[in-house]
Amino acid sequence: MVILMDVFNIPEDIYEVIFATKQQKIVGKLLIDYIKAHGGAITKVEMSRYATSLHEGNFVATLEEKEFQGKKVKLSYNKRQFYDRIVTPMKAMGLIEYNLYEKTYKLSDRFYKGLLEVGIRWKKELEKEAQSKIEIIQNN
């Protein structure tokens, strides 16, 4: 997953940095809230039920988004796309982790730690001496 951000316009909502579309942002945020509401971890079966209810359009949530503020909204999201565009990237970024032995998804701080590591590596790169010898050839 690639995070594209503008340091001069970092959104207040972290989900706008993480997800590419508004729909992904809404579904991803609801998933995080769902996991939080279940003690920070859910089973594989609970995740499957969650994805199935989204897929079948049997998912109702009260959204915080400006245009839906406080309203109950019926949502649907393709199950395969839910795993491909929401769950798998969240695992890859370190927002959630899957325990293969316990068969549970749980919230993780690896995203935070990963971004710190990226920042440290950039700081080291800034401190390095130039490695290439560059010549600019001017044609007259």
Predicted model pTM = 0.85
Token couple for 136: 């600019």
* Contact yes or no for 97/106 (Cβ under 8 A): yes
Q: For residue 135, give every residue at least 6 positions away whose Cβ sits within 8 Å of its Cβ, in sequence order, or none.
A: none
24 part of a folded domain: yes
Q: What is the pLDDT of residue 87?
A: 97
Residue 121, CB half-sphere, CA atoms under 13 Å: how many?
6
Q: What is the pLDDT of residue 65?
A: 83
Q: What percent of the chain has pLDDT over 90?
A: 68
35 part of a folded domain: yes
105 part of a folded domain: yes
Most confident among 2-16, 62-76, 102-116 (mean pLDDT): 102-116
* Comparison of pLDDT for 113 and 17, the residue scoring more: 113
Range of the domain at 32: 14-127
Read off the pLDDT of residues 77-128 as tens digits, 9 standing for 90 and up.
999 999 999 999 999 999 999 999 999 999 999 999 999 999 999 999 999 9
Give the whole-angstrom CA distance, residue 119 versus residue 113.
Answer: 10
123 part of a folded domain: yes
- Across the range 4-9, mean pLDDT stands at 83
Task: Tell me how many domains the chain contains.
Answer: 1
94 part of a folded domain: yes
Question: At 16, phi and psi to the nearest 5?
Answer: -70, -25
29 part of a folded domain: yes
21 part of a folded domain: yes
9 part of a folded domain: no
Q: In what order do the strands lie in the sheet with 96-99?
A: 41-43, 104-107, 96-99
Token couple for 73: 């909204």
